[in-house]
Structure formats: C-alpha cells, structure tokens
Amino acid sequence: MRVLVTGAAGMLGQAVMPALAAGGHAALGLDLPELDVTRLESLRGALRDFRPDQVLHLAAFTRVDDCEAQPDEAFRVNGDGARNVALAAAEAGAAVLAVSTDYVFDGTATQPYLESDAARPRSVYGASKWAGEQAVREVHPRHAIVRTSWLFGPGGPNFVDTIVARARAGQPLRVVDDQRGSPTFTGDLAQGLLRLAACGATGTYHCTNTGDCTWYDLAAYVVGRAGLQVPLERTDTASFPRPAKRPAYSVLGNAAFEQKTGWRMPAWRDAVDRHLAATAGGTGRNP
Ligand SMILES: NC(=O)c1ccc[n+]([C@@H]2O[C@H](COP(=O)([O-])OP(=O)(O)OC[C@H]3O[C@@H](n4cnc5c(N)ncnc54)[C@H](OP(=O)(O)O)[C@@H]3O)[C@@H](O)[C@H]2O)c1
C-alpha cells in the first residue's frame, strides 16, 4: 500500500511509521507544521503529490483538559480536520482510516461497548472526536473509524511512563480506582490498524488491548513490574477533580475487529511488560 499518515509525529504515529516500513509499505508521515489538517488545500496538495491508496488519520488535539478551555480549537482540529482529511482522501480515490476514542461514550455501561452503542460524549474532547467521526462517515463511503483507549507507548506523555517517573522519584501515588477501561499499547494498535487497512475494512471498529482494569490497577501493575517501592493509594474521581469529565466505564468490545482481521489484540499486562522492557522501565535504569 501507499499510505499517507496525518499526526505522524505523535505518540501513535511514532509506532505506526516503523510498522508501515516493516510491512514493506510506501509511507509518508506528515504533521504540523508541514501539514495542518484544518487546511483543506494543503491536504489536497499532499494527496495529489503522494497519491496514497490509504490515509491513516491520527492527527488530533488530544489534551483532553485543554479542550474544555478551547472548544473552538478542539472542534476545528478534531471535527473539521477529520472532515477535511476524509474529503481530500475521497477526492484522491484513497480509503481513509480515522482513529477515534472511548470518550465518545458516557461511561454508564456495565459491559463492553459495541460499535453500535449510542455515543454520548461528556467532554469537549469526546464531542469533538464524535463530530469528526460523523463527518468522516458523511463525506467518504470508503472509511474505517477505529476507536481505541488509554494509549501508552514511547515518544509521548502517557500514564504508564508518568507512573514510572513519579515512582522512581519516590513520590507517593494516589490513583483513581473508579474509572475502568483498557490500556492499549501503541505498537499493538499500529498492528491492528494495518491489519484493518490491509483487508479493506470499512465501518466502525473498536481496537484495544484485551482485558480491562482501573487506573489504580494499572498503576499497581506498572509499579510492581518496574520493581519500584512506593506508597500507592486508591482515590476516586470525586476527590481528584479535572476540567474534563471522564467516562467511569469505557471498555470497548473488540469482537468486530477480531472477526474482520482474524487477530486478537494481546492482553494489556503483556503489552505493559513489553513497553517497560523496551523503555528500560522494568530494569530501574533511566530510559
Ligand atoms: N492518547 C490516548 O490515550 C488516546 C486514546 C484514544 C484515542 N486516541 C486518538 O489516537 C490518535 C493519536 O493519539 P496520540 O496519543 O498519538 O496523540 P498525540 O501524541 O497528541 O499525536 C497527535 C499528533 O497530531 C498533531 N496535530 C495536532 N493538531 C494538528 C493539526 N491541526 N494538523 C496536523 N497535525 C496536528 C499533534 O501535534 P502537536 O503535538 O504539535 O499538537 C501530534 O503530533 C488521536 O486521534 C487521538 O484522538 C488517543
């Protein structure tokens, strides 16, 4: 495939680009400032020059709490930006795969969300990503939308690395134990995205590492596997107010993804182990 990637310098992009190279695909990764997804003409130009078969749209305004203070910017990047990418892909005859989020759901479920469940975002970030999803569906029939959650991986701020850094610094940790989801390793998600693209999947899919936990469970696992000794305490969302509301439960069911690709995403604990090993997080050395 010839694949153009937006947001290629982000945390997920840094896993997707080497995965594309390893798969023998011709890939062009673009990010700010050379490609701004809010500028339709610059997207059109990039697609005209590179002539991709597939566009992977990863670019987004992802700082969830900042989105609350900057709703116009969130909708401009995550909503209008996704529309522009899908429109430019449609015009250029390329399929589009856009990455979305568990934050499109309200978190009141008690079992894993299906792709067909109603979206009811509770944050500006979630609402802007949902607007992006709808725009992609509207303007490009050959689209795939892939919702994922709780990403961690090299090259971007993420919960796993933050826990390791704070525990190494000897800081006591208090972590919320009343939000449940599925941590997902960018390296595994990259494989999932490429498998979906390679089989020409269209429609909406959920793709996360398998299994679920609370943020507290994840912190406890990370601290243990990294061999760090630090006091770790449970807290709850009410005691730890943040600008953006988070869903209490946002586990995503992967059945449609598994059926389409014939592949099961690895378990989140296994993914954390591989990430810690790769970043030397498990050895007590600095990455
Ligand atoms: N991180 C998570 O836990 C998570 C969970 C679920 C879904 N997702 C989705 O997964 C995708 C990748 O997330 P990520 O964690 O890799 O995020 P990330 O590290 O923030 O990467 C996003 C990239 O997009 C760039 N970008 C921002 N505005 C842009 C614009 N107008 N035009 C072009 N590029 C722009 C960012 O540049 P700057 O850094 O300069 O802004 C950044 O390099 C996103 O669609 C996100 O919504 C993430």
**What are the per-10-residue average pLDDT scores of the chain (287 residues)?**
98 98 98 98 97 98 98 98 98 98 98 98 98 98 98 97 96 97 98 98 98 98 95 95 96 98 98 93 41
Residue 281 is predicted with a pLDDT of 61
Contacts from 19-28 at CB under 8 Å and sequence distance 24+? 19/187, 19/190, 19/191, 19/194, 20/194, 23/194, 25/1, 25/194, 26/1, 26/2, 27/2, 27/3, 28/2, 28/3, 28/4, 28/52
Q: Return the CA Rg of the chain.
A: 18
Phi-psi region of 51 (alpha: psi -120 to 50; beta: other; left: phi over 0): left
Model-level pTM greater than 0.95?
Answer: yes
Residue 167 is predicted with a pLDDT of 96
Rounded Cα–Cα distance for residues 60 and 78 (Å): 5
Active site residues: 125
Rounded Cα–Cα distance for residues 248 and 179 (Å): 4
- In short, whether 99's Cβ falls inside 6 Å of ligand 1 is yes
- In short, whether 91's Cβ falls inside 6 Å of ligand 1 is no
For residue 39, how far is its CA from the centre of ligand 1 (angstroms)? 16
Chain-centroid distance, C-alpha 184: 8
For residue 136, how far is its CA from the centre of ligand 1 (angstroms)? 17
